[in-house]
Chains A and B, each alone.
Chain A
Amino acid sequence: MKPSLVELAKEKVLIYDGAMGTTLFTYDLTAEDYGGKDLEGCPENLNKTKPEMIQEIHSRFFEAGSDIVETNSFGSSRLVLGEYGLEDESYDISKLAANLAKEVADKFTAKEPEKPRYVAGSIGPGTKLPSLGNVSFDELKESYKPQVAGLIDGGVDVILIETCQDPLQIKAVLAAAFEVFQDIEEKFKDKSDEELLAAYPAAVFLQDSEKRAGLSSRIKFPLQVQITIEQMGTMLVGSDAFSALTTISAYPVDAFGMNCATGPKEMQEHLQSISESSPFMLSCLPNAGIPENVCGHAHFPLKPDEFAEYMDKFVRKYNIRLVGGCCGTNYEHISKLAAAVNKINEEKLVFDPLKNLKEVEDSVSSIYSSVFMDMETKPLIVGERTNANGSKKFRELLAAEDYEAITELAKEQVEEGAQILDLCAAYVGRDEARDMKEIISKVNTSVNIPIMVDSTEAPVIEESLKLISGKAVINSVNLEDGEERVELIASLCNKYGAALVALTIDEDGMAKTAEKKVAIAKRLYDLLVNKHGMSPQDIIFDTLTFTLGSGDEEFRKAGIETIEAIRQIKAELPHVKTILGVSNISFGLDARLRPALNSVFMHEAVKAGLDMAIVNNKKILPMHKIDENLKKLCLDLVYDRREYKSVKHA
């Protein structure tokens, strides 16, 4: 049996093929070739009408030196095929495309077993951008499911989600893929591993540590994601390469890279920025330069030699493991590329797993940019003015259904320094899911900081996540209703790639002592990380606090317990983060006192290791603005430094 593609790529650089699309053009195809006037321009139908031609193209790329060819299935999703009335053939065409390529690959492998050949199931972006509301997440996901299933059933070695222009579209394909994996598991649930492998040689059995709640639990198939960065330096919807990487890093994919839009030269800067922090193997399949319009035809200016020269440099410099060409690259480009790569492989440049993961692992993202959660200047500010519990103005806007004004409120917070946006539309008597959908579909593209979905309702959370293009944070989960809920929320995080705020509440209610808070945090950690497969970096503990304003003996130590819990959690649970809604500490006190107490408390919490604070910056003050005496009283209150004098017994 041939080695798995992912394993082999760790040992040597593997070569993809060149362009399918622009190669097809060289055949001067007629409407008939495509299968009639109505189908003219539908390359996927050529799998049916001209299979020998498609196989010839695959063969010639293998001959030129490719290790992997892409199936002719770029547009074989339901939605794209639907434009030719072929939506119901999505599965069949995808499977046929895979079969054609696999037949050729197997022939070559049989001939040269020392150079096994592979097939990548190509999935293009389609014609609709979900972030812009052109299509819903669910519709998109359903459109991709038969495509993924057909490709896998047809025997591809890797699912290649390529030429991506919108991170939300990637999320939809991934969601489709995970469901297909689950379907296969279901079909084979009474069958042995051997039987499964016989049917799906490319299936990968999951180690216990790789299992994630909500996703397939027995097998997966290799996944490769490639974004397209336009000349302006971002994806079509505006995401830069690093934020797209942040978004995808929450998913169990195997390779991440770039293809299309530009030549290698323009890709360099972006490759550099992802190569340093990608947790995945890197791939790079550029165009043969930026197409120029020559006499009405797209002309790709980069000659095979130049192309190979760039790629040679990139492979060495950025540790790229999967290379090939996109538009405008032909057999000659690939053969020059192969010559260069073969030389590199002789030098045995082994895959060197990347070092600088912290930055991407500790980040969340919006559609446009990512935010590092472990910044030196703590705390990270989570804006709370778009929260129905925290802001009267927001409630009023919500009641008036003025979603435009809510978006403005969100933008205002960014200008005031918010780094993550808390969104909470839970308001009695209103349809929370609908409100959240309305708000998020606007905020997602008009505010450039990551979104924190503040809701405890699983359906609200799920609908929200289907609209968010970046890596979001969910706020929150707790143990009040037992462990099942934890699994449910963790599943959503895994399926939609999100981080999670976990509150120190269990079946007995909100923990009061540091000891109990830490014990609950550990229990949650164990469930979320060890049982449900979330990564510790994505877990943010909220140790909660009670007000010190009531003077209640029971809560006099609330500040101390909260701060101590933060300190212990940071010390004992590596990589996790902490968060706090600071203004609870002063609940019920006079508005003139609250900013000072909030700020003093927050400052102490930051010293103990608080990473993020949910605040309204109008309700805090910089320390130097607080009168010394007031500051001392606040500190004494936080640390319960009451003084006593002894009195004689009566």
Chain B
Amino acid sequence: MPEEEIQAVEQEVSYDPLTDLLALVEDIKVEDDSDKDPYENLSVEETLSQRIIDGNKTNINTDLQQALDGGHKPLDIINKFLMDGMKIVGERFGAGEMQLPFVLQSATTMKTAVSYLEQFMDKLEASTNKGTVVLATVKGDVHDIGKNLVDIILSNNGYKVHNLGIKIPVEEIIRAVEEFKPNLIALSGLLVKSTLIMKQNLEVLNERGIDLPIILGGAALTRRFVEQDCANTYNGYVYYGYDAFTDLDIMERIHSGKSFEEIKEEFYKTKAKESEGDSPYQEVGESDEDEYAPLLDYTEKLSETKVLTSSEIPELPFYGDRLIGPEEIDLDEMWQYLNLDAMIIGQWRMGKGKKTQEEYDKLLKEEIYPTLERLKKETRANPWLKPKIVYGYYHCKIDPEHPNKLNLFSEDKEEIIDSFTFPRQNSGEHLCLSDYFRTEDDAFNLVGFQLVTIGVEAAEFVQSLYNSGDFAEYLYYYGLATESTEALAEYSHARIRKELGYQAEDNKDDIKKLLRGGYHGMRYSFGYPACPRLEDQEKLFTLFKPERIGMKLSEEWQIHPEHSTSAIIIHHPDAKYYNVKVK
């Protein structure tokens, strides 16, 4: 390049960063040489976050005390301000903007803060021991702050915790289990690798005949990995520890005499759509759909479901798909289908507990229902909830060669445009979803699908509550968001039944019964026991292009935003839920 020559001849430097840098030297602050308060202009809350980011623990107690005096609860301080800082540390660490030595300083600051706050936390009298927990961070993992938080929260609530420490091999866990005979084993792990170690540990526990319930927590885990992969691996019950309170929640339920199965029911189902956090590790854990693979081809024995006559096949309301936007959906109409039990007891944790019926009714009337009304009102005024639906119908027929396979046809019924293959039970009634489409004289049948979401805004809104630290509100709205998604699915399904002419069969008087399937036909989501293969979502996405309503499919076939759900709609009158997995 002649550039340099040109410079020499025609150009002269007008800006040289080196010159400017040298000129700047005198202005550069070297940290320790000022005794000015670096957090002068920040509120105490901001100061605390910033201190975590800076790894500055000098005199942090003063700021913590100030926050306490200002009316913040110790746990709120941790969960809001300190965790906020830690989150940023994690992001910067991941992006290479912050190196390990500084992260270490942040971690030390966090620990200092937590240990100062510990003395101010609500404690139960020391004499009670409501149950015992063995707690450890798994082998190869040094992260102990989250685990120690679990310890503190449980200990303060009257449980005895044996905190084994970090990098704990499974043998040591087993020894502790044998010695302390806990009610629950709690494991923490923040590295992706730790998730695999956890799974291996479960295998070893199986082999040693240990089947105590286990809770797995830490940022690298996902609910799906725990509730599917780990739960399928382990002989006992496995719960997903979303945060450091989940274990308390579970221990309280154990303490109140609930069976593990009951807890699982409440826990898996009611919280099934809880945010998985902003964890970038959604890809963790291979799925084990493969175990159904043989059942896809299992056709030795078919079920004896009723074959539909042509008069029993409704007419196609329209072919293909339709989109319904938020403006067409009346929130109150949708909320008719709200499952109040799931929300109040499951999400809001406001079950009857040990209260008398009278006391509980009073609570419902004076607190819970008014709260619900308030949330609804606020939502109507400030619609963070934006329900959207794509749904539609296709002609279909069972594949002549493969009774588990349902072919979908083009509008003129000439061409097969797609097909779904469902697993068949290899015991019991030998059911397979395709059986519900069998027709006399090989007539065409119809199948419906729906994809619904309450929008990305919902997650953002709920997250903003979390971030603002208003945990009670967070919990309420989170519950409402989750149950509204279900309600929207119900609403959409009701609309489909209406279009197919089955509305009369809806059990209108008893909404609880309706919600339990008190209507004609049935709705199945991919991932349910009868159609467990999540990859089928991909076909739905090809057919319905729900990207139009803001939905995306992750590599693991999970729908985003999280408050979304999809289903195949079957109009066969005998359609029911069943489990295809044979033990």
- A interface residue numbers (CB < 8 A to B): 233, 266, 268-269, 272-273, 313, 376-379, 381, 415-419, 548-549, 551, 589-590, 592-593, 596-597, 603, 606-607, 613, 615, 617, 620, 622-625, 627, 629-630, 633-634, 636-637, 641-647, 649
Contacts and interface: CB of A to CB of B under 8 A. Distances in A.
Interface in B307-323: none
Contact of B28 (A593, A606, A622, A643): A593
Most buried by A among B28, B93, B103, B104: B28
A505 to B, nearest CB: 26
Contacts of B22: 590, 593
A418 B207 CA distance: 39
Given A607-B96, A617-B99, A629-B24, 11 more contacts: A268-B204, A269-B200, A377-B100, A379-B99, A417-B103, A417-B104, A630-B24, A634-B17, A634-B21, A637-B17, A644-B13
In the A-B complex, the 7 residue pairs with the closest CB atoms: A417-B101, A636-B17, A617-B101, A643-B15, A644-B11, A417-B100, A623-B97
B24 A633 contact: yes
Contact of A633 (B13, B21, B100): B21
A629 B96 CA distance: 20
A85 B218 CA distance: 59
Contact of A620 (B18, B99, B204): B99
Nearest to B108: A415
Given A622-B99, A623-B98, A647-B10, A268 B207 contact: yes
B16 interface: yes
B5 interface: no
Contacts of A418: 101
Interface in B25-70: 25, 28, 30, 53-54
B357 interface: no
A418 B99 CA distance: 10
B14 interface: yes
B21 A624 contact: no
Contact of A647 (B11, B21, B94, B102): B11
A649 B104 contact: no
B214 to A, nearest CB: 17
A471 to B, nearest CB: 17
B92 interface: yes
Most buried by A among B14, B16, B103, B172: B16
A157 B447 CA distance: 67
A623 to B, nearest CB: 4
B7 A633 contact: no
5 contacts: A417-B99, A418-B101, A592-B30, A617-B101, A647-B12
Contact of B7 (A268, A620, A630, A644): A644
Interface of B: 7, 9-18, 20-22, 24-25, 28, 30, 53-54, 92-94, 96-104, 139, 169-172, 200, 203-204, 207
A379 B28 CA distance: 26
B24 to A, nearest CB: 7
B11 A645 contact: yes
B12 to A, nearest CB: 5
B171 A266 contact: yes
Contacts of A378: 96
A637 to B, nearest CB: 4
B25 A592 contact: yes
Contacts of A629: 24
A647 to B, nearest CB: 5
Nearest to A591: B30
A627 B98 CA distance: 15
B104 to A, nearest CB: 5
Contacts of B204: 268-269, 272
A379 B103 CA distance: 13
Contacts of B103: 417
B18 A548 contact: yes
Contacts of B94: 376-377
Contacts of B11: 644-647
Most buried by B among A268, A313, A617, A644: A644
Contact of B9 (A313, A376, A641, A649): A649
Contact of A551 (B18, B139, B207): B18
A642 B15 contact: yes
Contacts of B24: 593, 629-630, 633
A624 B18 contact: no
B17 A641 contact: yes
A596 B22 CA distance: 13
Contacts of A597: 21
A606 B203 CA distance: 39
Contacts of A625: 54
B104 A416 contact: yes
A244 to B, nearest CB: 15
Most buried by A among B12, B30, B169, B172: B169
A377 to B, nearest CB: 5
A421 to B, nearest CB: 14
A379 B14 contact: no
A272 B201 CA distance: 10
Contact of B14 (A233, A551, A617, A645): A645
B187 to A, nearest CB: 14
Nearest to A637: B17
A633 to B, nearest CB: 5
Nearest to B20: A633
A633 B9 contact: no
A597 B53 CA distance: 21
Contacts of A268: 204, 207
Contacts of A646: 10-11
Given A377-B93, A592-B28, A269 B14 contact: no
A643 B14 contact: yes
Nearest to B14: A645
Nearest to A416: B101
Contacts of B101: 381, 416-418, 617
A649 B10 CA distance: 7
Contacts of B98: 622-624
A273 B203 CA distance: 13
A622 B17 contact: no
Contacts of B14: 643-645
B104 A269 contact: no
A381 B100 contact: yes
B219 to A, nearest CB: 13
A615 B102 CA distance: 13
A266 B208 CA distance: 11
Contacts of A613: 99
Contacts of B7: 644
Nearest to B97: A623
B99 A624 contact: no
A73 B5 CA distance: 78
B436 to A, nearest CB: 40
Nearest to A370: B140
A642 B92 CA distance: 29
Contacts of A642: 13, 15-17
A196 B251 CA distance: 71
Contacts of B17: 633-634, 636-637, 641-642
B14 to A, nearest CB: 4
Contacts of A617: 99, 101-102
A427 B9 CA distance: 48
Contacts of B30: 592
A106 B262 CA distance: 65
Contacts of A647: 10-12
Nearest to A380: B100
B25 A623 contact: no
B28 to A, nearest CB: 4
Most buried by B among A378, A419, A597, A642: A642
Contacts of A643: 13-15
A617 to B, nearest CB: 4
Contacts of B100: 377, 381, 417, 419
B92 A624 contact: yes
A25 B102 CA distance: 59
